[in-house]
Amino acid sequence: MTAAAPADDRGAREVGRRIRSLRTERGISLSELARLAGVGKATLSGLENGVRNPRLETLYAITAQLGVPLTAVLSAPGEAPTVRGTAVGATLLEVFDDREATYELYRMRVDPGPAQLSPAHSSGVTEHVTVFSGVLRAGPVDAPLTAGPGGYLRWTSDVPHTYAAVGEEEVHASLLLRYPRPSTPDT
Amino acid sequence: MTAAAPADDRGAREVGRRIRSLRTERGISLSELARLAGVGKATLSGLENGVRNPRLETLYAITAQLGVPLTAVLSAPGEAPTVRGTAVGATLLEVFDDREATYELYRMRVDPGPAQLSPAHSSGVTEHVTVFSGVLRAGPVDAPLTAGPGGYLRWTSDVPHTYAAVGEEEVHASLLLRYPRPSTPDT
DNA sequence: CCGTGCCGTTCCGTAAACGGAACGGTCGGA
DNA sequence: TCCGACCGTTCCGTTTACGGAACGGCACGG
C-alpha cells in the first residue's frame, strides 16, 4: 500500500500516526473519537492514515477531544537542534528556574557510532536521562551507565562524561540538566 | 447562519494575527509572501483575516517561508494546562512514538492541599517524575513515594495512584508517561 | 493631471476535505 | 451456528478552501 500516497507532505503522515497513538493509548475506537470530536469517521480514518490534508478546524476538534494541544501532534521537523555534536543532537524543550536550581529539559538523540565526550560542568550539576528507544551508555567516562527503553540514568556531571548508543539503533531520550544555584540572590 | 465571522474557531483568528505580525515584521507584502510560499493571494488574505480554516498544508507552506515552525503560529507557549485537576495541572510538551512504546512528556505542577487521585491506566504503563522544586509525594495509593528537588520517582500506573505536595510549597516537576504498545498494527 | 505599479480585497471556477451511509471483517452471546 | 454490535475502510454528494483574475485604493513620476 501507499505506493502513491495522494497527500503525504511527509508531515501529514506523522501527524496521523501521533493521533492514532494518542487515541489507542486511551483505548477508544476510531468511531467513538470521531463522534466525540464531532467529525466524520471517514475524516478521522483518512487523517490517521495520512491521506488527507486536514483543516485546522478539524485538527483542533480532534486534539481538543484528546486533551492535548495542537502542537502535540504537529511534528517540528525543521526545528534546528539547540545543541549539536558528532553523535548527540538535543533540542531544548523548556527551562525552569527555581530558587534552588535551574533546570533545562531537552529531547536528545544519540546516533550510533563513536561515543561523544562532554566536558565537566560546574560543581553540583546533575544529569537525568530517561531512554525512549535504543540502548544508551552514558555517564562519567570512568564509570558509564547503561539503560534501555524506559530506563533511567542519573549522574553528577562535574567530571567529563560520555554519550554513546549501544548497538546500531539510534537512541531517543529526554535529558534533564540540573544546575544548582550557587547562592540565593535575594530579590 | 454565517454569523458575522464565518470561521472563527477563536484559533483561526489568532493564527491569522500571528501570521500577519510575522509578515509585517519582515517588511514584506501580502502579495510577495503569497508568491514566495506558493499560495494564492486570496488564500493568504482570507487566512490573515481569520475568515478561512486553512489546511495544514497551507499553513506549513507559509510558516516555512516565514522561517518559523508551525507551532509558532498555533497555540502560544505557556498555554492553558492540558490536564487539569483539583491539585495537578500538566502541560504536554512532547509526544514520542517508538515501535515499542509511546511517550508523553509533561511539565507538571502540584498545588498544596489535598492529594489528587488518578485512576489506573492500562497495564504496563509507567510514570517517571523528576522533581524540580518542592517535595512531591506520589505513586500507588497504597505505597506512595516521596522526592524533593532533583529527586526521581517511578512507578507502574496500572493501579490507582495519587499526587500530593508535601508542605506548603507548590511542586514543579517533569512527568513522563510511558505507554507500551499493545501490538504492532502497522507494517 | 493622469498613467503606472504595487498594495490588499473580492469574485469565481476548480479541487479537495468534509459528513453520512454502505461495506466487509471480527468478536461475543444466544 | 446464527445473529447482532461494533470495528475501520470506502463510496458519494455536499461544503469549502484553493489559485487566478479582476477590482478599488494609494503613492510616486512624468
Separation in Å: C13 C1' and B87 CA: 55
The 10s digit of each residue's pLDDT in B123-167 is 788 898 988 888 999 999 888 999 988 888 889 888 888 999 999
- Which one has a higher pLDDT value, B61 or A92? B61
Closest nucleotide to the alpha carbon of A49, via C1': D9
In angstroms, the CA B80 to CA B153 distance is 25
Give me the pLDDT at residue A93, please: 67
Q: Which helix (H) or strand (E) holds B89?
A: strand B88-97
Is residue A9 very low, low, confident or very high in pLDDT (cuts 50, 70, 90)?
Answer: low
The 10s digit of each residue's pLDDT in B99-122 is 777 788 888 889 998 888 877 777
Give me the pLDDT at residue A139, please: 92
Cβ–Cβ gap B98/A150 under 8 Å = no
Give me the pLDDT at residue A58, please: 94
Choose the weakest-confidence range: A139-143, A153-157, B67-71, B143-147. B67-71
Residue B78 contacts A where some CB pair is shorter than 8 Å: no
Give me the pLDDT at residue A81, please: 53
- Measuring CA to CA, which residue among B172, B145, B52 is closest to residue A178? B172
Residues 6 or more apart from B83 whose CB is under 8 A from it?
Answer: A67, B89, B90, B92, B106
Residue B79 contacts A where some CB pair is shorter than 8 Å: yes
Backbone angles phi, psi at A78, to 5 degrees: -80, 5
Give me the pLDDT at residue B182, please: 58
Exposed/middle/buried for residue A156 (C-beta within 10 Å: 0-12, 13-18, 19+):
middle
Look at the block and give the residue holding cell 503522515.
Answer: A13
| pLDDT surpassing 80 at residue B80 | no
| pLDDT surpassing 50 at residue A185 | no
| pLDDT surpassing 60 at residue A186 | no
Q: Which three cell numbers stand for residue B127?
A: 510514570
- Report chain A's mean pLDDT, rounded to a whole number: 81
Q: Is A150 helix (H, G, I), strand (E, B) or coil?
A: coil
Residue A179 contacts B where some CB pair is shorter than 8 Å: no
Give me the pLDDT at residue B109, please: 87
Q: Stretch A99-113: mean pLDDT, rounded?
A: 82
The 10s digit of each residue's pLDDT in B13-52 is 888 988 998 888 788 899 999 999 999 999 999 999 988 9
Percent residues over pLDDT 90 in chain A:
28
- Measuring CA to CA, which residue among B126, B170, B123 is closest to residue B152? B126
Choose the weakest-confidence range: A46-55, A140-149, B39-48, B150-159. B150-159
Indicate the pTM of the whole model.
Answer: 0.68
Residues from chain B that touch A22, judged by Cβ atoms under 8 A, are: 95, 102
The pairing of strands B161-166 and B116-118 is: antiparallel
Give me the pLDDT at residue B9, please: 52
Nearest beta carbon to residue B93 from set A12, A73, A94 = A94
Separation in Å: C19 C1' and A38 CA: 9
- Give all domains of chain A, ordered by start, each with its CATH number: 9-73 (1.10.260.40), 82-180 (2.60.120.10)
Nearest beta carbon to residue B54 from set A55, A73, A154 = A55
Residues from chain B that touch A58, judged by Cβ atoms under 8 A, are: 53
Cβ–Cβ gap A74/B71 under 8 Å = yes
CB A113 within 8 A of CB A165: yes
Cβ–Cβ gap B95/A73 under 8 Å = yes
Residue B72 contacts A where some CB pair is shorter than 8 Å: no
Give me the pLDDT at residue B75, please: 60
| pLDDT surpassing 50 at residue B5 | no
| pLDDT surpassing 50 at residue A25 | yes
Q: Residue A147 region, left (φ>0) first, then alpha (ψ -120 to 50), else beta?
A: beta
The 10s digit of each residue's pLDDT in A68-84 is 778 778 865 445 455 66
Give me the pLDDT at residue B32, please: 92
Cβ–Cβ gap B94/A93 under 8 Å = yes
Helix axis angle, A56-66 relative to B12-25, nearest 10°? 120
Question: What chain A residue is nearest to B71 in terms of C-alpha separation?
Answer: A71
Give me the pLDDT at residue A176, please: 87
Give me the pLDDT at residue B2, please: 32
| Strand D neighbours among B 21-80, CB < 7 A | 38-43, 46-47, 52-55, 57-58
